[in-house]
Chain A
Amino acid sequence: MMQLQGVIDSAVKEVGKVLLGKEPQIRLALCCLVARGHLLIEDLPGMGKTTLSHALAAVLGLSWKRVQFTSDLLPADILGISVYDARDASFSFHPGPIFTQLLLADEINRTTPRTQSALLEAMAEGQVTVEGKTRALPQPFFVIATQNPVHQSGTYPLPESQLDRFLMRLELGYPHPRAEREMFERRHSAIREIDNLQQCINAQQLEAIRVAVSKVQASDSLLDYLQRLVACTRQSPEFEVGLSPRGALALLDCARTWAAMHNRGHVVPEDVQMVLPAVASHRLVPGGEYAGDGMALVDLLLRNVDVIGS
């Protein structure tokens, strides 16, 4: 157990070398991957979205590919295509970039809904069907998608129903001034840190963490709290759409993973509160009269839902 936390800590530290001052987000991103979920990173360009995903792939020792999503990208460009081979007069399948362990789908909202849904389908099923033939994706298979904030023009925001497929959504935000200063200072060194990142977690360790997660207890009191949170999203007028059962399960899974990552055999409310913004903010839709966005809704949940039953 002790060892696991060490492993996680070293992984966080390793990624932290290239993404300065973003430890909480790195931890959440790791949590998401350990919980076998896909990750959506939403922020303005240049905030380090690509760096984060690249670094995560490196420390997890996963094969990774990157696809820049553009408006003319076709489903086939991701999934692959059968090409006629003149020599043996048959079609051979050329796998697309999706056949990797970690796929970075950059600016997913720039492409058409059709291409988006091809990717999302593959994410949900862990396999792709091209020209009537089903092919399994490598295991583990993660997608880290990045998205520009929806207010930019010329984008196709992911439909709300599809957002549910991402276990977590993270916002990176501007770096802390101190971290930014360090970034400036390092700029002069010749080494590209990202190429020198060490693998910190191997497949066996990842499996061990997952076993540990499966043993984490969630007590009645905690489940009550969880249910109060979920009930609040479904009953308060501030919410147009409440948390779905899938969303509620995601919340529990992430809280357990978070607890395991912090070496605890049981979940405490703090775990839930830590993962709640990342897990819930993209699943919640504010009600007609409510001015805030998903983050404001999460804030409201954290403030108003009593941790202790009364």
Chain B
Amino acid sequence: MKLQQQVPRNALVWIIISMFALVAPHALRLPPWVLLVYVVAVIWRILVYRGRWSFPGRSVKLILIFSSFIGVYVSYGTLVGLEPMVALLLTAFAFKLIELSRRNDAYVLLFLGYFVCITEFLFSQDLLITLYSMLNVVLVTTALVALHQPGEHQFNRGSIRLAGVMLAQALPLMVVIFFLFPRIDPLWTVPVNNHMAKTGMSDFMKPGDVAKLSQSADVALRVKFDGDIPPVSALYWRGLVFSRMQQGAWSALDYYDVPVKQQRPREMRTSGDALEYTVIMEPSWQNWLYGLHYARATTPGVRHTADYRLSTLSPLETEYMYRVRSWTQAQAEPGLSQWRREIETRLPPGSNPRTRQLAQEMKALTETDQQFIDAVLNKFSTQDYVYTLQPGSLSELHAMDEFLFESRRGFCEHYASAFTVMMRAAGVPARVVAGYLGGEINPVNRTVIVHQFDAHAWAEVWLQGQGWVRVDPTAAVSPERIEWGLEAAMQAEGSFLSEAPLSALRYRNIPFLNLLRLRYDALTYRWQSWIVGFNSERQLNLLRDIFGEINTRVIATVLLGSWVLVLVPVSISLFRKRATRQVSRPDRFYLKFCERLARLGLVRSAGETPGQFFLRAEAALPAYAGQMRDITSLYNQLAYAGTADGEGADASTLDTFSRAVKRFRPSR
């Protein structure tokens, strides 16, 4: 094998380190056998290195590749989609290590490594993941550097230094290009994460679903208001509107269930100042967004539906940022269409007979719809209904009957559902709305952090002259929930986050840890709003703010300017290293003296000692004999009479010498 193609041992160690570092964040998403492949690959390669095993033959390689395809297919049920493809990529990555024998193999492996880094970002663009990926990039680059350091037979930690330095030099240039590079629309549709567990609300809700969700301390979204933050109890983040009840479960209307004419939201009369805010959603793998009452998004690409919700075309696989304006006082749909009225009062035939009967009786006792609503809420608050995270299960068909008349234990969705069923039974248009209520205000950067446990369900009722009005039956049962949040509401029960013992939120009462958590959250917000949420619109605004008018010349100037600013200092640091031969200070002055004489045509030849040169110079320039004699004898004293260990040269002698040289200005 050619010398250059050999893979030094040091490089092999770095390659293995970087491989494991690369696969680590993927580990939880991968089927366990892929990790086993890694371990086997490393052991195999080490045995090859020790000479115990040999590199795999062609047929063995084919079998390995084929079986990995089968393995992925069996694990995921498909080969298309992001996750199976990443699994295949990572398996191939491990196999490549086994057959790594030449430098060219290592290139393939390490460039694949860079690609593995990017696949991690397709799953998460979290700040910590980013930092970790940065470390991975450093490791892969280090392996690349080590690959070109022949003769390193020992593991050399020093290789990482150069890789770090080079990446640090590349970083500022990257930042400039990151903000300048035009954001292009996707070239073609790409496979989605169809295997990822969806989080948050689903578009299908049975009693008990929200209670389950409330066990999670994950962040659902972060909101930054342009002005003051409204009271937390008024923050009803609408996400889903459930208009249809089937088999004891609520579901949203499909896009095609709505007649074409009704698909666009009706124009609304808005009055007063709007709340303006920015929302960053964590990936939910769903396509609906959250907003306060009557939200209009200003971010392009967000759809508005007839029931005043926001949604995107495709599910959110990564963090998503959008801008919203909300008019909380606006009347929604003051005139109800016949179709809408019919939909919003429909109940599955034959279900919950007792509830229907109760509702009709109560309706008959009241005059207006509003009175009827108050009566129902009054029933919840005065009778012994319990607000609990452990509501117990209910039957499918007559769930509301069971809840209202027997168990009487429920979470928000039970009350919202029961309320809506009663409204509909009495002929009042009503629907269930799911979303989040409230949130935690982060004092560090004044954002509202909405967690999954803030998940909530409430009802909307259509009233003549008022349009859709929000009614929250939970408030009747447990006012603490609305006012203080779930934790306060569940204080007696002690069930808050009982299934998430490690969540940082559980340690909110330790001030130091809490502050740390909030600071990190603020950092995450900034990270997400600047880097993750950076899109063409923000790019345009940013560039306009900084450079005013944007044209090619400005872009080119900025680009070239940044390169000059970075690459010139880098070159200087590279090419202006200390010379191996250093000139001592006496030598420097003496050479200056020689230079002055050389200008008069008196050039010291290489082999001439100072003494010999002086004799020649004295003959040529007798007028300066005295000065030259002093300089020569001082130099001889400094250079040769000093102690053997060097810098013992007398400082004052050096001073005299340098002054003598400076004074020496000969002319013919």
Chain A–chain B contact at Cβ < 8 A: yes
Query: Measuring CB to CB, which residues of chain A are less than 8 angstroms from any residue of chain B?
Result: 217-223, 265-270, 273, 301-310
Q: Are B607 and A307 in contact (CB under 8 A)?
A: yes
Q: Are B640 and A268 in contact (CB under 8 A)?
A: yes
CB distance from B543 to the nearest CB of A (A): 52
Q: Are B583 and A266 in contact (CB under 8 A)?
A: no
CB distance from B583 to the nearest CB of A (A): 6
A sample of 11 inter-chain contacts (CB < 8 A) reads A217-B642, A221-B639, A268-B636, A268-B640, A269-B609, A273-B609, A301-B607, A305-B606, A306-B606, A306-B607, A309-B582
CB distance from B509 to the nearest CB of A (A): 69
Residues of B contacting A: mostly: loop
A242 to B285, CA, bound (A): 77
A188 to B640, CA, bound (A): 50
Query: Measuring CB to CB, which residues of chain B are less than 8 angstroms from any residue of chain A?
Result: 581-584, 586-587, 590-591, 594, 605-612, 636, 639-646
Q: Are B591 and A266 in contact (CB under 8 A)?
A: no
> Could you say which of B591, B607, B641, B646 contacts A304, with CB atoms under 8 Å apart?
B607
- Of all chain A residues, the one with the shortest Cβ separation from B643 is A217
On whether A307 and B606 interact (CB within 8 A), knowing A218-B644, A267-B640, the answer reads: yes
Q: Are B591 and A305 in contact (CB under 8 A)?
A: no
- Of all chain A residues, the one with the shortest Cβ separation from B648 is A219
Q: Are B641 and A308 in contact (CB under 8 A)?
A: no
A268 to B607, CA, bound (A): 13
Which residues of chain A come closer than 8 Å to B610, judged between CB atoms?
A: 269, 307-308
Which residues of chain A come closer than 8 Å to B606, judged between CB atoms?
A: 303-307
> Could you say which of B581, B594, B608, B644 contacts A217, with CB atoms under 8 Å apart?
B644
Q: Are B643 and A270 in contact (CB under 8 A)?
A: no
> 10 closest pairs, A vs B, by CB?
A221-B639, A269-B609, A306-B606, A220-B646, A266-B641, A303-B607, A302-B607, A219-B640, A219-B642, A268-B640
Chain B CB within 10 Å, residue with most, of A219, A222, A270, A303 = A219
A265 to B605, CA, bound (A): 27
A306 to B587, CA, bound (A): 12
A218 to B643, CA, bound (A): 8
Q: Are A219 and B607 in contact (CB under 8 A)?
A: no
Which residues of chain A come closer than 8 Å to B643, judged between CB atoms?
A: 217, 219
Q: Are A308 and B642 in contact (CB under 8 A)?
A: no
CB distance from B585 to the nearest CB of A (A): 11
Q: Are B641 and A219 in contact (CB under 8 A)?
A: yes
CB distance from B614 to the nearest CB of A (A): 11
Which residues of chain B come closer than 8 Å to A217, judged between CB atoms?
A: 641-644
A305 to B605, CA, bound (A): 9
A270 to B640, CA, bound (A): 11
Q: Are A270 and B609 in contact (CB under 8 A)?
A: yes
Which residues of chain B come closer than 8 Å to A265, judged between CB atoms?
A: 641
Which residues of chain A come closer than 8 Å to B644, judged between CB atoms?
A: 217-220, 223
Which residues of chain A come closer than 8 Å to B581, judged between CB atoms?
A: 309-310
Q: Are B584 and A222 in contact (CB under 8 A)?
A: no
> Could you say which of B582, B587, B612, B639 contacts A270, with CB atoms under 8 Å apart?
B612
A310 to B605, CA, bound (A): 13
Q: Are B641 and A310 in contact (CB under 8 A)?
A: no
Which residues of chain B come closer than 8 Å to A308, judged between CB atoms?
A: 587, 590-591, 594, 610, 639
Which residues of chain B come closer than 8 Å to A304, judged between CB atoms?
A: 606-607
A176 to B495, CA, bound (A): 118
A222 to B586, CA, bound (A): 13
- Of all chain B residues, the one with the shortest Cβ separation from A303 is B607
Known: A219-B646, A220-B644, A269-B610. 15 other contacts (CB 8 A): A217-B643, A220-B645, A220-B646, A267-B640, A270-B609, A270-B612, A273-B607, A302-B607, A303-B605, A305-B607, A306-B607, A307-B608, A307-B610, A309-B581, A309-B583
A270 to B594, CA, bound (A): 18
- Of all chain A residues, the one with the shortest Cβ separation from B594 is A308
> Could you say which of A267, A302, A303, A309 contacts B587, with CB atoms under 8 Å apart?
A309
Chain A CB within 10 Å, residue with most, of B581, B583, B586, B607 = B607
- Of all chain B residues, the one with the shortest Cβ separation from A307 is B609
- Of all chain B residues, the one with the shortest Cβ separation from A221 is B639
Which residues of chain A come closer than 8 Å to B586, judged between CB atoms?
A: 221
A175 to B286, CA, bound (A): 110
- Of all chain B residues, the one with the shortest Cβ separation from A259 is B640
CB distance from B135 to the nearest CB of A (A): 45
Which residues of chain A come closer than 8 Å to B587, judged between CB atoms?
A: 221, 308-310
- Of all chain A residues, the one with the shortest Cβ separation from B606 is A306
A268 to B608, CA, bound (A): 12
Q: Are B591 and A222 in contact (CB under 8 A)?
A: no
CB distance from B303 to the nearest CB of A (A): 76
CB distance from B346 to the nearest CB of A (A): 99
CB distance from A241 to the nearest CB of B (A): 22
A273 to B613, CA, bound (A): 14
A268 to B610, CA, bound (A): 10
A270 to B612, CA, bound (A): 8
On whether A220 and B642 interact (CB within 8 A), knowing A268-B609, A310-B583, the answer reads: yes
CB distance from B385 to the nearest CB of A (A): 96
Which residues of chain B come closer than 8 Å to A220, judged between CB atoms?
A: 584, 642, 644-646
A269 to B587, CA, bound (A): 14
A219 to B636, CA, bound (A): 10
CB distance from B591 to the nearest CB of A (A): 7
CB distance from A218 to the nearest CB of B (A): 6
CB distance from B51 to the nearest CB of A (A): 40
A270 to B639, CA, bound (A): 13
A186 to B88, CA, bound (A): 107
A301 to B581, CA, bound (A): 19
Q: Are B611 and A219 in contact (CB under 8 A)?
A: no
Which residues of chain A come closer than 8 Å to B582, judged between CB atoms?
A: 309
Chain A CB within 10 Å, residue with most, of B583, B605, B639 = B639
Which residues of chain A come closer than 8 Å to B645, judged between CB atoms?
A: 220
On whether A222 and B640 interact (CB within 8 A), knowing A268-B609, A304-B607, A310-B583, the answer reads: yes
